[in-house]
Structure formats: structure tokens, C-alpha cells
Structure 1
């Protein structure tokens, strides 16, 4: 008796089944491996470099440096945009935090009022932070410090202590308290806030040391 040979019968799915199979296939991870931002940036830079190399013969030695300068400008803009997060991480590693942000335009009087209100409410963490900001803003207003956003508490204490030597130790102590409170390393008390008020009054009444005059003929 002749044997029967079995063959696979092709399956013809319906339209709904075909759509379901396609959706299941596309849902697999192999179709979702999108490049990361860093990978896209690296690819873009590589493609840009290849284009610059290719233009070397067509544009000549004059335009290629201009293109390179344009690329450097783009990278500089990217660096500035990323500078905020990078600076914050660097400050965190350095152990000191920014005192006044670029968008904080409150006066020393405003900051003292905010500190007093927080102290009356029993929020001594905010009271300490605002009072130290008032100290730094007060030195800004008296031109003891340059009005420079992004200055850390330690930098403000060192720079202020240079112009106000009698208050140098108090400023350093106050800056350490500011950093400890800012990073949540300590819970300040009413006594801590009163200490900052004393530093504020001492700094406000201190006369700044005159800067050394520039030598004759110095630029």
C-alpha cells in the first residue's frame, strides 16, 4: 500500500487574525530599541564631522574653519543649557549650596521680613535660610560683594570676610549652618536663628576694609 506523504498546509488567516499577529509581532522588544539621547548626539556629531571632512575639498581652506567655528558655537550653547544641572551636582559634591538664585530679586529687607515670618510660624529651617540670604543680599546692596547669582554660601562667607575681617569667623559659621540646613543635615532651633540675627546685625554695622589701591600704571 502506498504511503501517504504529509505536507504542511499553508494557513491563511482572516483579516482580524492577521492584524492581531502583526500587532503582537510589533510589540516585541526588538522593534522598540530606540537610541538614547547620548547615542543620538554621538551619531549627529559623527555625521557632522564626516560632512566637514567631505567639504574640505569642495569648500576650500577658507569656509571649512568657519563651519568648524559654527559647530563649536552649537556645542557651547549645549554646554550652557546643561550647565545648570551640572553646576548643581558639582555644588552638592563640594558641600555648599547656592544662596540666591538668578530669579530671586528680593531685597535684604524683604528677606529679613520673610525670615521673621517663618520664625514666628515656628519654621526655623526656612527662617535660617532666609536670614542668611538677607545677610548676603545686604552685603550685595552695600557693594561689599558683587551681585553675582549662583554664589555658594561658603564663597559668600569667604568673600565677605575678606572685606569684613571682624566678621569673617561669624560669616563662615553662618554659612556652615546654612549648608547643613539646606541639605537637611540638621534641624535648626530658635537659638540658631537668633545667632544668625546677631551675625546679620554685626555684618550690618561693620565697616568694610578698603580694597588695596591699584599700582600706578596698572591696567
Structure 2
């Protein structure tokens, strides 16, 4: 299944081909509401095969999104994980979603841009967004310096948009890492990881 998400509501609509409307068990359009609150159109003879076709994923012209989900002003990471049916065993994904989708707007953007719901699609979009945020929506240098003074591990986590623990932070410090060096390395390469930054710091 490409589209692995819950169907909240499904309604049978008009026949796909009106000239064949009189044929018993003809193919009809179905409107589906998914777990994210999006409205889809798909086709099938009955509800069960309409849901099966929906599970094959977004395919124009038959299975398409008619309406995106409305902006959710209370969407938390936990609620998004529930709607995406991400299990507690996906610890890496859960951690990365907390770090990358760290604002309400980012979580709603994720909902607007995802098509089919499956582990590959979730990971792919999440890291596409990460790359965009590192360039277009990174925390300012001033904010980073302020956060670094208060909590360097948290500051590094949100500056690189990756999970930083105390062990990695110690490696960074031992390599001569500073907030100013972080900024310089990120200006040279906005996609640099903290591990790569540590290697660069060790070379200096």
C-alpha cells in the first residue's frame, strides 16, 4: 500500500461514466476524508475497492486531493504523529519531527505538502523541508548566539536541525568549537552537519 492512512469518512458520488449509469455495480466516484482532514476523490464499484484504489496513492485523474486540510492552530507534533500513524518504535523519526517541525507553521506546511502517507514519503518530505529551512528559515545569528550562551546543546540542535546530545557537544568543544565558528561554517555551507563541522574544526 502506497497510501497507508486511515479513512475517516467515505461517500459514494455520481457514476464515472454517466452513459453507463444504468449498469448494476458500475464504477462510481467516491469522496474520502483522510486522517489529516483532506478531501480526496477516487473511484470504485463498492466502498471496499474504492478504499483499495485510494491505497494505491495519488494518481491523476482518478485519485486526487480535492481539498487540502484547513490550517490547524492547535496542531502539535504528537497529534501529527497520531494522524500519520507513526508508532512509538520510530524513535529517530519522532525525534527528527520534533526538531525540524518545531513551529506550528512548519507542521501545517508538512500537512499541506504531503501526498501519500507511508514511511518513505514522510521521511522524504521531512528532509526536503529540513534542507529548505536550513537555507530559507534558519534561526538568526543573533538568536543562535543568545541560545548558545543559555543552552548550547539546544542551540546546536535547532541551528543544525539535527539531534545533538552531550557527547556530540563535548566533541564539538574539544575540537575548539564556538558559536562564531558554527556561524562561519554554516555560512560557507548551510547544509553542513555538526559531525562535518567538528571535522572542520579539528582541521583548524
Task: Tell me the TM-score normalized by structure 2.
Answer: 0.27
Task: Tell me the TM-score normalized by structure 1.
Answer: 0.25
Greater fraction of residues in strand = 2
Greater fraction of residues in helix = 1
Greater Rg by CA: 1
